[in-house]
Structure 1
Amino acid sequence: MMRSELDAAGIHDPRLRAAYERCRELNARHGRTFYLATRLLAPSQRPAVHALYGFARLADDILDDFDPELTPALRAERLQCLAAQFFDGGDHSDDPVLSAVIDTSRTYGIRAELFAAFLDSMRMDLTVTDYADRVALDRYVHGSAEVIGLQLLPILGTVGTEERAAPYAAALGKAFQLTNFLRDVDEDLSRGRIYLPADELAAHGVDRELLMWCHHHRRTEPRVRNALAAQHDRTRQVYRFAQAGVPRLAPRSRPCVATALTLYSEILDRIEDSDYAVFCHRATVGTARRLQVASAGLVHAWWARTTRTGEPVTGAA
């Protein structure tokens, strides 16, 4: 299957083909919902999306590896090495993920400053454990999530200019990230991090100490429940704005993005359904539901590619 996608994307160099295959494997293993949505893209689009995922995963693994021998200084060194190799063009790296993402950035003209902003936010994770307010958190989220949406735009294509679609693409990346923050509160606490604005938590009588109490007792204290519900509502607002941007994408890309938006927003539903019991289980969308939404998206994707763009559906499934 990957072979037909690489052929469709015009990637023929054996070394690059192996590099893109590595990125696809990472996406399939670690990003189940995201990977499922990529199956709705045209075959020619998929390798580049896998490459962007692979690069983000590469940086994330440096930060979140639980190996106790990886000190903050060593993690910083590895992250700096990754940045240097990327901006050097990967000429001195044997890492297949770097080879693929550099090829993607050149092919689609993805701006270097988007990768720089992403790496800046990753560096923040080395030293920043709390965010005083929404402005501080938004600064982090811009690099960690909004720029991912902006990186994808040249691959997805737009109706009209990219500039007009950009705010919506950034908002979708932000919505996904804010969803992760709610779902993974407990896991982030185990790493010493809180990705919720301290002043907004304080408005409900919540601080780090109370969150740690919830973490240790595996239950959601009522004040924490109210604080999480408020964050949940704000995230819903971001999804509503992002959804308005789907029609600004190229028709063949809309089913993929709409499917990802639906499935990720339903994680919020699961969190709410559990009454914000995020300290005792991780909210997920079940396999049957994911396949149901993806199947409907596949029909729309097939229709868009055959009737609007004329692109063959080889390798679509």
Structure 2
Amino acid sequence: MTSVLAARELAAAGIEGAALRESYVRCRRLNAAHGKTFFLATLLLPPAKRPFVHALYGFARHVDDIVDDHASTTAEQRAALLERWVGDFLLDLEWGATSDPISRAVIDTSRRWDIPSSYFVDFVDAMRSDLTVTSYATYADLEKYMWGSAAVIGLQMLPVLGRADDTVRWDVLEQHAVDLGLAFQLTNFVRDVAEDLRRGRIYLPQESLDQFGVDRERLARGRVDESIRNLLAWEIERARRLYARAAPGIELVHPTSRDCLRTASTLYGEILTEIERADYDVFSARVRVGLRRRAQVGLSGLQRARSARRGDPPTPTPRGS
């Protein structure tokens, strides 16, 4: 059943046809269920932009879930399912149509906004590597993975978010989007050390672990000591440098998109602060920004976003228009 808000978003975006609308609604549900911070931030966009962001998130979440479904499938089953689903998706993306209930929305989004298919290929390659790669020797190695797992998602979103005006160069905006995607991903890696370990993976560079005398066994014990504190503090500062590099890009997107990015960046960045407040204990429970703080940032962003929307054209225009 389509909610009133979702129906309003679909109408504002000009999305018609029962099957296509249902596909966008499925992606919206995935964003609401799994991407709570990103879903909140998405609600600060004009209704006409939201379905396309939901579609891009829904696609990424669906593929990630295939790779991480450890509870009900074996590694071989996950690999086979991923190859089958991805193969169908890439063919459908080239063709421009599909019967898949998730792919339908993202293919429509890709065509409307002229999003390069290479971004989807790079994302899929990163997810495929999660089936076999369990660690990364250097930050440069990890950065190559994060290009596909996070940076390209920011690049996919840029045409939807739009530029502040025609004087803003796309290549400058794209670099800021890459930095923000890397910052979000590295924040996840620091917060989710214990969860990733349970899946057999470490997303902190081995060179960092070596620098502070930490190994897989020490992390697996789940007890914070000075070496682990120093390791996590090191990676937190790396993430903060990425947020700082990304920050100027927020003012370069269209005014109606700025508070979406500002809210996501603020709340995700504050996860790092919460990790510090927890004395770097990322083992006992998943570190979160409190509901009251999320509401405070979201409401503040909503007030600014509503102000920015006044006089904004009802439908966003794609890159090159």
The TM-score, its normalising length taken from structure 2, stands at 0.92
1:181 to 173, 180, 189: 189
Q: Distance in 2 between matches of 1:112 and 1:231?
A: 32
Match of 1:265 in 2: 269
181-190 vs 201-210, greater mean Cα deviation = 201-210
Matched, 1:21 2:16: no
Match of 1:34 in 2: 38
Counting only pairs closer than 5 Å after superposition, residues 117-136 of structure 1 correspond to structure 2 as 117-136=122-141
Matched, 1:195 2:215: no
Which amino acid counterpart does residue 141 of structure 1 have in structure 2?
M
Matched, 1:254 2:239: no
Match of 2:152 in 1: 147
**Shift of residue 88, structure 1, vs aligned partner:** 1.4
Matched, 1:281 2:281: no
**Shift of residue 286, structure 1, vs aligned partner:** 1.1
1:236 to 240, 244, 250: 240
Which amino acid counterpart does residue 8 of structure 1 have in structure 2?
A
Q: Is the 8 A contact 2:45 2:257 kept in 1?
A: yes
Deviations 1:23-78 (A, max 9, x none): 1111111111110000000101000000011101111111111225x222221221
Q: Distance in 1 between matches of 2:237 and 2:39?
A: 27
Matched, 1:53 2:92: no
Q: Distance in 2 between matches of 1:66 and 1:123?
A: 15
Q: Distance in 1 between matches of 2:237 and 2:278?
A: 15
**Matched residue of 1:52: which SS?**
helix
Match of 1:5 in 2: 9
Deviations 1:133-191 (A, max 9, x none): 11110110000000010000011001323222000011111111000001100000001
CA RMSD of aligned residues (A): 1.4
Match of 2:48 in 1: 44
**Shift of residue 209, structure 1, vs aligned partner:** 1.8
**Matched residue of 1:127: which SS?**
coil
The TM-score, its normalising length taken from structure 1, stands at 0.93
Match of 1:315 in 2: none
Which amino acid counterpart does residue 89 of structure 1 have in structure 2?
D
Listed as ranges, the gaps of 5+ residues in structure 2 are 316-321
Q: Distance in 2 between matches of 1:287 and 1:245?
A: 27
**Shift of residue 96, structure 1, vs aligned partner:** 1.2
**Shift of residue 93, structure 1, vs aligned partner:** 5.2
Q: Is the 8 A contact 1:305 1:311 kept in 2?
A: no
Q: Is the 8 A contact 1:178 1:235 kept in 2?
A: yes
Q: Is the 8 A contact 1:6 1:44 kept in 2?
A: yes
Matched, 1:75 2:78: yes
Match of 1:166 in 2: 174
Q: Distance in 2 between matches of 1:110 and 1:161?
A: 17
Instruction: List 4+ stretches of structure 1 deviating above 3 A.
Output: 90-94
**Matched residue of 2:202: which SS?**
coil
Match of 2:318 in 1: none
**Shift of residue 311, structure 1, vs aligned partner:** 4.3
Q: Is the 8 A contact 2:119 2:156 kept in 1?
A: yes
Match of 2:303 in 1: 299
Which amino acid counterpart does residue 78 of structure 2 have in structure 1?
R
Match of 1:89 in 2: 92
Q: Is the 8 A contact 2:12 2:314 kept in 1?
A: no
Which amino acid counterpart does residue 281 of structure 1 have in structure 2?
A
Q: Distance in 1 between matches of 2:129 and 2:39?
A: 27
**Matched residue of 1:196: which SS?**
coil
**Shift of residue 10, structure 1, vs aligned partner:** 0.7
Identity over aligned residues, as a percent?
50
Query: For this pair of structures, how many residues does the alignment match?
Result: 306
**Shift of residue 242, structure 1, vs aligned partner:** 0.8
Matched, 1:137 2:149: no
Q: Distance in 1 between matches of 2:284 and 2:218?
A: 15
Q: Distance in 2 between matches of 1:83 and 1:178?
A: 25
Which amino acid counterpart does residue 275 of structure 2 have in structure 1?
I
Match of 1:107 in 2: 112
Q: Distance in 2 between matches of 1:93 and 1:24?
A: 19
Q: Distance in 2 between matches of 1:162 and 1:77?
A: 38
